[in-house]
Copies of this chain bind each other. A is one copy, B any other.
Amino acid sequence: MTINTTPPELPKVTTGALPASRKVWKAGTLHPEIRVPMREIALHPSAGEPDVRVYDSSGPYTDPEAAIDTAAGLPRHREAWIAARGDTETYLGRATRPEDNGRDEASGKLRPFPRAHAPRRATGDRAVTQLAYARAGIVTPEMEFVAIRENMGRDAALARPRDGESFGAAIPDHVTPEFVREEIARGRAIIPANVNHPELEPMIIGRNFLVKINANIGNSAVTSSMDEEVEKMVWATRWGADTVMDLSTGRDIHDIRDWILRNSPVPIGTVPLYQALEKVGGIAEDLTWEVFRDTLIEQAEQGVDYFTIHAGLRLHHVPLTIDRVTGIVSRGGSIMAKWCLHHHRESFLYEHFEEICEICRRYDVSFSLGDGLRPGSIADANDAAQFAELETLGELTQIAWKHDCQVMIEGPGHVAMHKIKENMDKQLACCDEAPFYTLGPLTTDIAPGYDHITSGIGAAMIGWFGCAMLCYVTPKEHLGLPDRDDVKTGVITYKIAAHAADLAKGHPGAQVRDDALSRARFEFRWEDQFNLALDPDTARSMHDETLPKEAHKTAHFCSMCGPKFCSMRISHDIRSEAQKEGMAKMAEKFREGGALYLPETEA
């Protein structure tokens, strides 16, 4: 792992392959031009089993062959796919204004992304969304791309015996492009892919696919910079973030977003309300539909792939929050609630929702309908305010679908374990199986500093129950802005939650990696065990703390039990003993001899 050297004033990002890993690509069949990346982890020859292919969200940064230049951005490989559809036009986009970066007038401090690209939009009032294509029976390159990606290079013929409880999900043994099309047409899955984010490697979010995770980055008025945020994005995808939300709220957020988008291989989500608020000097009451609409177009032209829109929070919901322990904890939710109350008016997001759809369909920006009234504490979980808003989100889902817009629904928050499934079941019912996208949920409030864990528990469970994407929580939640290390801890914790959910749902490909790692563990192939881990660097360094020597990488024990007490080593002795005499036969012979206490089951 090396830090590549772009000129000092440009963002430095982490590049290089993961240990024992190489990037491999699989071409499309319907669309031979697509190249779907996967990571292949090489095992020791003694393993006598094939190398393990895993899902790879890290983009070109982990490809040693790729030339990374953050000032140039990533290759715009989707541009040809989009142009070939012949339903979009490039045009002279909206000019950037100082206030887009939270400034009064143009200032030397700004650092725009060096290359400008003319934005693209649908011609006329066409919908250029994956949903529109799916409904029209078209299998796009994006659809075939995610189909290949979801199979992680598994042989279509190789269907494992299914083991799991999926609570009504319908995960196929093998994902076909046609299956992807059907799920998108049904509204049960989305491919967030703005026509202005051609650098994107498409991914899919839906309960019948691998559970995905999102990493939040972004500066705040108090701390951080563009350079840090671009590296956080690259760092998050290196460890497995499937999408990244840029929640910047400080200055220069237009430019920071440009830098992130041009260098991001994963979909980027935002909460446009944050920038709109900056444009009106941070005064919620001064927000207007016009300022918000302008911000949507600004961000759609930049290439944001999904917008969090808190249109489900209505004026008459606000009183429901008055007796809560922690009130409204969604930033967007609290801003809109304040606006509604001040003006004694219905939310302009709700009133103008159809116009928002008309914008999103022209760029294929997906909706992430925000849960402005999510509970911020165990005490407030599953209350009237939360579920009233969820019902409105169900109503808005139908409207978005009417406009051929892709939709997912945001969920809580803080929820004790026994109340988690109700959230999932109610969301599926209210929103007609549109993908659910939850933050955690945190299963207790008493561990600030460890909320990646309090929430990882809830995230694994709701992922099992059917949640399509899990928004990570870092150790800094409630305490401060996460740094690079917090981002990694959050991502790894959520990869664990998502994978535990895939296993429990019975995803046909999930257990392959567990089994390969367990065999490596049982056979003392330490290097293979490290390399197959979600975080090979940490696994290796923890082992080497006590047993640093190279010889220990093949030792039949570790410092936890030492040589004499290694149960796995003894298990090998047992197996070799078993060879001598047929073990089953020998055990049977003994049983005839009779034991002292025969259990009822044997009596």
Question: Hey, which bits of chain A sit against chain B, CB under 8 A?
Answer: 164-165, 220-223, 249-250, 274, 277, 282, 284, 314-316, 318-319, 321-322, 325-331, 333-335, 337-338, 341-342, 344-346, 350-351, 353, 376-379, 391-392, 394-396, 399, 416-418, 443-450, 452-454, 456-457, 460-461, 464, 475-481, 483, 492-493, 495-497, 499-501, 503-506, 511, 513-515, 517-519, 521-522, 529-530, 532-535, 538-539, 542-543, 545-547, 557-568, 570-575, 577-578, 583-584, 586-588, 590-591, 593, 595-597, 599-601
A-B contact pairs, 10 of them (CB 8 A): A164-B416, A220-B562, A319-B587, A327-B571, A327-B575, A344-B586, A417-B461, A446-B532, A448-B533, A448-B539
Q: Give chain B residues whose Cβ lies under 8 Å from the Cβ of A314.
A: 595
> With A and B bound together, what is the CA distance between A557 and B331 in angstroms?
12
Is B346 touching A444 in the complex (CB atoms < 8 A)? no
Is B447 touching A325 in the complex (CB atoms < 8 A)? no
> With A and B bound together, what is the CA distance between A574 and B164 in angstroms?
46
* A424 nearest CB across to chain B (Å): 14
Q: B250, B334, B492, B593: which contacts A450 (Cβ < 8 A)?
A: B492
Is A529 touching B221 in the complex (CB atoms < 8 A)? no
Q: B274, B338, B546, B588: which contacts A574 (Cβ < 8 A)?
A: B338
Is B164 touching A341 in the complex (CB atoms < 8 A)? no
Q: B165, B443, B559: which contacts A481 (Cβ < 8 A)?
A: B559
> With A and B bound together, what is the CA distance between A586 and B316 in angstroms?
8
Q: Give chain B residues whose Cβ lies under 8 Å from the Cβ of A284.
A: 570
Q: Give chain B residues whose Cβ lies under 8 Å from the Cβ of A591.
A: 315-316
The 3 nearest A-B residue pairs measured at CB: A327-B571, A221-B562, A377-B518
> With A and B bound together, what is the CA distance between A80 and B583 in angstroms?
54
Is B565 touching A220 in the complex (CB atoms < 8 A)? yes
Given contacts A326-B518, A559-B220, contact A346 B478 (CB under 8 A): no
Q: Give chain B residues whose Cβ lies under 8 Å from the Cβ of A533.
A: 446-449
Is B515 touching A346 in the complex (CB atoms < 8 A)? no
Known: A395-B597, A445-B518. 14 other contacts (CB 8 A): A222-B546, A274-B565, A322-B583, A330-B567, A331-B567, A335-B565, A350-B595, A376-B522, A418-B503, A418-B505, A446-B517, A453-B456, A457-B461, A481-B560
Is A417 touching B460 in the complex (CB atoms < 8 A)? yes
Q: Give chain B residues whose Cβ lies under 8 Å from the Cβ of A568.
A: 326-327, 329, 334, 376
Is B514 touching A377 in the complex (CB atoms < 8 A)? yes
Given contacts A319-B584, A500-B416, A546-B481, contact A448 B530 (CB under 8 A): yes
Is A417 touching B480 in the complex (CB atoms < 8 A)? no
* A12 nearest CB across to chain B (Å): 21
> With A and B bound together, what is the CA distance between A559 and B474 in angstroms?
14
* A384 nearest CB across to chain B (Å): 12
> With A and B bound together, what is the CA distance between A481 and B544 in angstroms?
11
Q: Interface centre among A344, A392, A518, by most B CB within 10 Å?
A: A518
Q: Give chain B residues whose Cβ lies under 8 Å from the Cβ of A577.
A: 338, 341-342
Is A559 touching B514 in the complex (CB atoms < 8 A)? no
Q: Give chain B residues whose Cβ lies under 8 Å from the Cβ of A346.
A: 590, 593, 595-596
* A458 nearest CB across to chain B (Å): 8
> With A and B bound together, what is the CA distance between A391 and B599 in angstroms?
8
Q: Give chain B residues whose Cβ lies under 8 Å from the Cβ of A538.
A: 449-450
Is B328 touching A571 in the complex (CB atoms < 8 A)? yes
Is B417 touching A570 in the complex (CB atoms < 8 A)? no
Is B479 touching A542 in the complex (CB atoms < 8 A)? yes
Q: Interface centre among A497, A561, A565, by most B CB within 10 Å?
A: A565
Given contacts A328-B571, A475-B542, A511-B378, contact A220 B561 (CB under 8 A): yes
* A383 nearest CB across to chain B (Å): 12
Is A417 touching B504 in the complex (CB atoms < 8 A)? yes
Q: Interface centre among A221, A341, A444, A495, by most B CB within 10 Å?
A: A444
CB nearest to A456 among chain B residues: B453
Given contacts A316-B590, A325-B515, contact A480 B542 (CB under 8 A): yes
> With A and B bound together, what is the CA distance between A322 and B392 in angstroms?
56
Given contacts A568-B326, A571-B321, contact A454 B496 (CB under 8 A): yes
Given contacts A454-B500, A456-B453, A578-B319, contact A418 B599 (CB under 8 A): no
Is B249 touching A562 in the complex (CB atoms < 8 A)? yes
Is B319 touching A534 in the complex (CB atoms < 8 A)? no
Is B341 touching A574 in the complex (CB atoms < 8 A)? yes
